[in-house]
Structure formats: C-alpha cells, structure tokens
Structure 1
C-alpha cells in the first residue's frame, strides 16, 4: 500500500484532538497556542494553512524569525544541499566551511567600523542565550557587575535577560540582579508629560545626570543594553538622536554599549541592522532570530578589546548548528542582494500611512508607529477621557478581541506593549504589495468589528466604519 502524501496526511488530521492533547500535556506557560488555536500543516511565504483547511496571512513570522517567510526556496535549498553533502550536522565550536561562510556573510553585513575588529561568540541557539553571553562578556571585561537597562525592555526569559527586561511579572528570574532602570522614550505615554524631541532630550539628560551624580546610588556599570526598537515593549522605535546620546554618554563613562538586535536585525526595520539608522557603532551586538534563516542560531559580536575570555569561559553544546548557519548565510546573502531592507523601508512607510488613515476612522486605534516592517497599533478605550497628551487608557480586553477578529478573517497578529494592548505586525520582508493591502483591510475590519461589539453595536458591512 502506498504511503499517503502530505495532502492526504493533512486531511486526516483532527485539529481539535491535537489542540486538546496539547492543552492536556503542555505546560501552563504556553502562549501563542492559547490566543491562536490553529494547527498549521503547510506554509509558504506569508501564507499558513491550518489542518481545517483555512488559510491565514502570517504577520507574526515566528516572532520575527522568518525574514523570508515560511519555507523560502533560498533557505530550503541551503538546507537540502548541506543534508546531501554529508557534512557533519553537529560540530561544537570546530571550524567548518559552513561556519566560515556564515561568519563571512554576517561580518559583511555589519557596520564597517564595527566589523573591522569584531569577534564573534556562538552560544546557545536562542536570543536570550546570546543576551546572557553578552552580559557575562562585559562583566568579565570590565570587572564590574552593574547594568543599565531601560523601561519597557525585553531581552529574553533566562535569569539575567529577565533582570535586564522591564516586566516584573515575567518570572522569578527578574527578581535578581536588578539593573538601574533608565527611561526609554515613549511619545504616546510620555513619562515626562511632553512627548516628542523634548522628551527624548530630557530622558537623555536624566541618564547623564544620574551617572554623573556621585550620590546617585548607581553601581559601576559593566554595560548598557538597549533595543533600537522595543518589540515586546510595544513597538517603540528609539529616536536616532536619543540613541546617539546613549552612545556618547556610555562612551564618556567607559561603559560598553550592548545593542540587542535579536528582533530588529536582518532588514526588519528598513536597514540591515536597526542601529544603522542612527549611525551608532555599538561595542556589543546581540543577534538571533532571522540570522538562522528560520532555524535556531544566536551569537554575540563585539569589539576585539573585550575578548578577554579564557578558553571555555563561555560555551554551549548546540553553538555549532550547521543547518542554521547554512540557511542563515543564504538568507543574509539574499536579503543583501535583493535589497530587502530597502524594500521593508518603502513598504513599511506605505503601511504606516495606511494605518494612520485607519486611525482617523477608528478611535480605538490610539496610536500607530513603527519602523520598516516592524509595526504597532496601540488599542485604547475610545470612550474614556484622554490625558493632556491625548492618550486614552490602554484596552487589553479590546485588543484581545481585535486579535480574535483578525484571526477569524484569516490574519495572524500578536499583542505586546505595557498592557498587552499593542497589535504587533512582523510580516516577512517578502510580503507583496497585494498582501500588504489585504493585511490593512482585514486589520481595519477586525478593529471595527471588535469596537462595535465593545459598544454593543451591530457589525457594519466590510469597509464601512462607524
């Protein structure tokens, strides 16, 4: 009897049974599976097909890992060629042609001044592993233990990364080794009641004053860690001038600047690395997600003078992921050769314009923002009073309803932000113009439908908003 093909096998899948077994077997910590109760069986580019036959446009992209979307031919070819070559798949940190090709391609993508004397440390395959390695690196190099981090930050889910993050509810790991928390600019909910360039200037001034104050209570810092765009924090792009000030201040105090490019890297924000928008040259860069071409890979790249580790001072059994390096090198090359960062910048601007047009029609969309194809929509209570800056209270329940309405319409989005009230869009860099228009249409309909239900109104026809 012939073996059933993929289509026949998929048709035999019982999604409800699978979801039921997942709920019974997997930990209470599962997240996406709760809000996105689908069972993907096939995927190509931006399209995901569930076991029930429904198709979705994926604006989650593996939390930003799929720069080229699902099953891109470039990544698949690199994986198949390596599998067919007989090359070892697991090599610890031994030198191989595959690793050499990946490192060469990665270094070619870095800012020239940074790459000239850079070193790379491969570590465990997740971004949080690379953050831990970066923190350990700067503490070893400086002999200090303090850390400067920012409000709204997210750097991962291991103990040191949690401590650097801004979410006290994220887990017990965040309770140890707390850093000095500095203000990250947030125009819509400005902590200084100002917003705009003046708020960014004051935030920088506060940081400079605190570090210069001999009685400021700041432990000597081994590093300052910052995201060029806060993702989990609510899609908040760091103002370029403010980021340049952080570089100036950290350099003046001899504090290594760590830039977390785990989610922002590989063209996502309209530059190959988000830090390039500001012209800042960091001391340490943390990379993961898209650099593995859809497979697990993480690394720390840093200035040579920080390379004071003894042999074996930092390791990881799976730091030599040959498949990920092959797929990653192919992905980095494709993004560079096809100028996908420039494409993300142009398409992102058009999508921002479309979101702003919807914002004028849908009062539940309190703010829209982003950079390149890293976009956010903050959902608010449209009936509540606004603060002096015009910001209304966050509406996490309404945001969750919008996410579900989007899923009903075949659109996968996720939430983030301070109160889980920011719709986050991370589509692949290969998204077409037609797909971008469909995303905007479905998102607008979802916001309207959820808002109408919130207000007890009947749904309007497609494309009509009240």
Structure 2
C-alpha cells in the first residue's frame, strides 16, 4: 500500500490551527511539532484536514498499542455504550472494572500477580507515579526517593521531583529530597567507559553511596526507574544492572518501583519490560496502552504494602468505564494474537536496517531500543568524539529531520538528553509494508536534512 503525501493545507485546517495558536496555552508541544489537523485515523494511518496521509510513529506517545480505532477497541466501546453501563462511578465496583482487573492480572508476571493489589488513580501516568511514591512513603515511614539521570516520570510535583530533565524542573521549587543516581547509557556513559563496564560502575556507585555513612543519603522510601527510558532518549536498562538494582534495594529494605507507563503492553517485545530481566519489583506504575487509547492509570503492588487508609489517594476520574472495557480488550488481543513477539521481530528488523544505513548516513550516531520502542540519535559527524567515541549531539539537525519526515508523510518525535533522538513508537500492528515505508521515508528525510545546510549556502 502506497500512502500519498497529498496537497497543500486546506483553508479549514489553517483556520483551526490559527484559532489553536490564539486560544491554547504556550505549553503546547506536539501541536508545535506537527502543525496538522487530523480528521480521520485508522491503524497506523492518520489523515489531515488537507487530505494528506501520514504514517504515525508516535502512537499517542505509546498509548495506541493497536493503532488508531482498532476494531477490537471500537467494539468494546460500542458494546459498553449499548449496554447502558454507567460511564462514571468513582471507585465503585462494576462488571467492566472486574473484567479489566482480571485481564490485567493475567497479563502480569505470574509470581508478581499472585500477591498483587491494584489501585486505580487519576487517569494520567503522573498521578500513578504520585500514588506509588505516596504508597511507599506510607509503608516505610520515610520520605526520600532514589531516581536516575535521564528519568521522566510526569509533570506533577512528586513525579517531577524524580524526573531528570532540568529544563522542566528549573522554574519550580523542589518537590522533595531525591538522590539522583547514574542510569547506564552505553553511548554516552556517565563514567566515560560504556558497555557492560559502565553498567557495572553504575551499580557499584549506587551500592557504595547507599552504604556510605557520610554519603548524605538518608534511607529512602523507594527507588523508581524506567526499564527503558523513553523521553530520556530510548535508553534500555541492561538486564544485569536491573537485577543488581533489585538485589541492592531488597538487601536494604528499599521498595523498588518500575515505571512501565510507556514500556507496557508488548511495546518492548515482552508484555511488560520487567520480564526481560526476570526481576520482581515491589510496585509497577501502568498507564497509556492499558486503557486501549482512553485515559487510565493504575499502580499494581505487592499486597504487604497495602497499608493505606480509605481515601489516602483518590481521584474523581479513576472510574473510567469505557477505558476499562477498551483496556481489557486491548490486553487480551495483544496476548492472543502474537503481537508481543511481533514487536520484537519487527523492531529487530528496523534496528538492523537503520544500523546498516549508518555508513551512508554518518549523522546516525546510535540506534537502540527494545521491540518497537526505538531511538535514533543524531550527531555531528565532524565533531570531536568523547571517550566512548560518541560525537556531539545535533539537535538542530534532528528538528530538520522531523520536519522532513512530516513532509514525507511520517510522524516521528524527538527526545533524549539534547532533543537529538528520533523516537519511533509505531503500533504493534505495523505491517511489513508499513515498516519498509517508515524506513524509506526516515532515511530519505535524514539524507535530505544532511544536505540542507549546504543547499542553503
């Protein structure tokens, strides 16, 4: 199937974009990167008001595991609407919630699920992070947290405190005592050595800091980490390092929270990214894809931590009946149709093809990720390499590539420490033909952007 790029913007779309610029806040993000007005969407394809069609490699920042308007999701929503079920019931028990919790527990690692409790939060992942931190503060009687360089956990106060991005943290007062630890990042290793040795040093640093009576770290309420950092640049945690974090926290009585908001529901080639390492966390924060494209967020945690009083963490919109129905349908469809293995297979093929293009596209410094959570770090090939051989990041080139991708009918967003990482989050339903089209358009956009400065001289 060939998707056409189409014709210039229609006046109606231009008018909508103009009103958005006037009426909405200056905090707009994706609307700035993608000045389009989507009117229809199906699977991986989005059609704008101007008639142009795009392949969507953003997928609602990982929310759309099955792509846009998947028949399974639409059927679950229609069935719920036609049944007359109440759409909003706070935290009351419903058949839809019971079915969702059954599907969710069945999808989780068996040992963890066998003694787990589920807390429904406000509908965003950031509220689930807040709830997880509060839960562990209640259970331990402690207040501090251990978090990592490159982390992203949300934009509310507690979640922002454990987030690493200084640009979003700088205007705000401190959100609490957080000890920042080094996250293994082979391409730009915080210790300047890279590879397995860099991960070993990161683990050793963490253990020695916690055990140092003059290290300045009070016993924390929890450690929180992402098994693959998303906004931080698609940086996968090495499995051995994750096992070390579990050992270090378990030996010191520190609860371990895994933030699987973006990595969950098959995204990394496992139903949950924690399964790559085989560890058992104390809590998992889940959102995005678990709602089948609708807002839903939960914390799943070991039952011994369930020491909350009634009302300890509430939210008006924690009873989203439609999201629970759509989420249960999504979880079951992913599991029953081999989409987890599909993510691993297609992701490996895309990675190999992009790696193979590095000779003719020397601005590709690194290609990494897991499953269909992929990152392409763009660099200045003429820049001085660091001790690990990494060239300087080139965020201006990344912006040009994103624009060139959009002009070619491909939606990709940026992330990473310097906003120089192209992030690929296609739906798990991506076809081989669509994967080939993504690669063709992306490589063509990179090649065009590489030449652009020279053409402008």
Gaps of 5+ in 1: 1-10, 459-466
Counterpart CA distance in 1 for 2:172 and 2:60 is 24
What's the CA shift for 1:173?
4.3
Is the CA contact (8 Å cut-off) linking 2:260 and 2:286 kept in structure 1? Answer: yes
Matches within 5 A, 1:382-461: 382-456=381-455
Q: Which residue, 50, 53, 57 being the options, matches 2:51?
A: 53
Is the CA contact (8 Å cut-off) linking 1:165 and 1:174 kept in structure 2? Answer: no
Change over 3 Å in CA distance of 1:178–1:405 after alignment to 2: farther
Determine the structure 2 residue equivalent to 1:6.
none
Q: Which residue, 10, 23, 26 being the options, matches 1:25?
A: 23
What's the CA shift for 1:178?
3.9
Relative to the length of structure 2, the TM-score reads 0.96
Determine the structure 2 residue equivalent to 1:233.
232
Counterpart CA distance in 2 for 1:380 and 1:61 is 25
Is the CA contact (8 Å cut-off) linking 2:161 and 2:178 kept in structure 1? Answer: yes
Counterpart CA distance in 2 for 1:440 and 1:127 is 30
Determine the structure 1 residue equivalent to 2:71.
73
Relative to the length of structure 1, the TM-score reads 0.95
Counterpart CA distance in 1 for 2:343 and 2:177 is 36
Determine the structure 1 residue equivalent to 2:134.
136
Counterpart CA distance in 2 for 1:455 and 1:236 is 32
Determine the structure 2 residue equivalent to 1:90.
88
What's the CA shift for 1:360?
2.3
Determine the structure 2 residue equivalent to 1:294.
293
C-alpha RMSD over aligned residues: 1.2
Q: Secondary structure at the match of 1:145?
A: coil
What's the CA shift for 1:456?
3.7
Change over 3 Å in CA distance of 1:456–1:178 after alignment to 2: farther
Is the CA contact (8 Å cut-off) linking 2:193 and 2:387 kept in structure 1? Answer: no
Determine the structure 2 residue equivalent to 1:186.
185
What's the CA shift for 1:176?
2.5
What's the CA shift for 1:174?
6.4
Counterpart CA distance in 1 for 2:163 and 2:242 is 18
Higher mean alpha-carbon deviation, 375-384 vs 138-147, is at: 375-384
Counterpart CA distance in 2 for 1:313 and 1:193 is 44
Counterpart CA distance in 2 for 1:309 and 1:268 is 32
Change over 3 Å in CA distance of 1:173–1:330 after alignment to 2: farther
Higher mean alpha-carbon deviation, 41-50 vs 387-396, is at: 387-396
Determine the structure 1 residue equivalent to 2:242.
243
Is the CA contact (8 Å cut-off) linking 2:143 and 2:177 kept in structure 1? Answer: no
Is the CA contact (8 Å cut-off) linking 1:160 and 1:173 kept in structure 2? Answer: no
Is the CA contact (8 Å cut-off) linking 1:405 and 1:450 kept in structure 2? Answer: yes
What's the CA shift for 1:455?
3.6
Are 1:363 and 2:362 counterparts?
yes
Are 1:156 and 2:151 counterparts?
no
Gaps of 5+ in 2: 1-8
Higher mean alpha-carbon deviation, 170-179 vs 145-154, is at: 170-179
Counterpart CA distance in 1 for 2:177 and 2:183 is 17
Are 1:15 and 2:30 counterparts?
no
What's the CA shift for 1:220?
1.2
